[in-house]
Amino acid sequence: MRRIILSLCVIFALAVNPAYSFWIWTPKTGKWVNPKNLPKDNPKAQFDYAKGFYDEKKYDEAIREFRKLLKAYPKAFEASESQYYLGVIEEERGNLYEAYLAYQKVVDKYPFSERIKEIIEKEYHIAEQFIAGYKRKALGVTLPVEDPSIEILTKVVENSTYGPLASKAEYKLGLVLKGLQRYYEAEDAFNKVISNYPDSEWVEPSKFQIASCRAAVSRGPDYDQGAMQEAKQKFEEFVREHPDAVLSKDAQQNISKLKEKEAASSYNIAVFYEKQKAYKAAKIYYENVINNYSGSVWAAKALESLQLMEKKK
């Protein structure tokens, strides 16, 4: 009888042990937990375990183990490294926006990480890829309404403060905004380059871009003569300050175009006053075109129109 009972106990133990071999009772949580879901005994061991999966390019397993470390040891040095590698994995997978989000968490949560400078460079590189037309891609992450580079470059500037990439990122941000026809915001970015980084190589092109934004505003559907005059003044100022700059040739061409536009505007005002039989006012504007825009096609037209008007009187 004893043998039978002993045999039954052995059989029961063999049957039960496999079921519980993956579960243990933890007094801390008061629950049965699967050891597979528990981190290693210390953050270094857990990091090395996760990094092993990364080195073998087993990214799903690596992500799981890095996240496990972040949850169990959020203040450990290895936590910042784990967050960094989550960004690296997403970047290697081609999920650039998710990579940026992961990298930014390192900056936000672990500002004393030795990776900060490297991360800022990586974020800038990601922004440049979006600017170059990289097809936006994200797994369950809502992307910004417009080009993600706006958000990313803004963060690069914030993260860098006065670092080596700050002025360049601010200038590129201005170019992106200008490309989206958000001219006033673009001007603000270019002005920040000039005021915050006066010794930067990006100051000179920023001055040109401010004038270009002013010119673009003057060409908009809501005609802005003040913006046109201001644009011309800024281009002229740029040429005076940087006569040998490569952009000065473009500035001169823009000045010529703006002068043509000014001449056309004055001519059209003169025609308007002439139709209203306000001949004195019309004459003032015709003469303004003749005297101040003598090299323009509008000067010849103004002279002809003035002579014809004088005959009518």
Report the alpha-carbon angle 20-21-23, nearest 5.
Answer: 60
Distances (CA, A) of 298 to 257, 269, 279: 13, 12, 18
* Confidence (pLDDT) at 20: 41
* Confidence (pLDDT) at 133: 83
Q: Where are the domains positioned within the chain?
A: 32-136
* Confidence (pLDDT) at 4: 53
Buried b / exposed e across 198-232, counting CB within 10 Å, b at 16+? eebebbbbbbbbbbbbbbbbbeeeeeeeebbebbb
Report the alpha-carbon angle 301-228-255, nearest 5.
Answer: 70
Q: Which two tokens stand for residue 227?
A: 């913006």
The amino acid that residue 47 corresponds to is F
Whether the CB-CB separation of 149 and 114 falls below 8 Å is answered with no
Residue-wise pLDDT tens for the chain (313 aa)? 555 554 544 444 444 444 444 555 555 555 555 566 687 899 999 999 999 999 999 999 999 999 999 999 999 999 999 999 999 999 999 999 999 999 999 999 999 999 999 999 999 999 999 998 876 555 555 565 467 999 999 999 999 877 889 999 999 999 999 899 999 999 999 999 999 999 999 998 898 888 888 877 876 544 456 666 666 566 666 567 666 555 566 656 655 666 677 777 777 777 777 777 777 777 777 777 778 777 777 778 777 777 777 776 5
Task: Indicate the CATH number for domain 32-136.
Answer: 1.25.40.10
Q: How far apart are the first and last CA of the chain?
A: 138
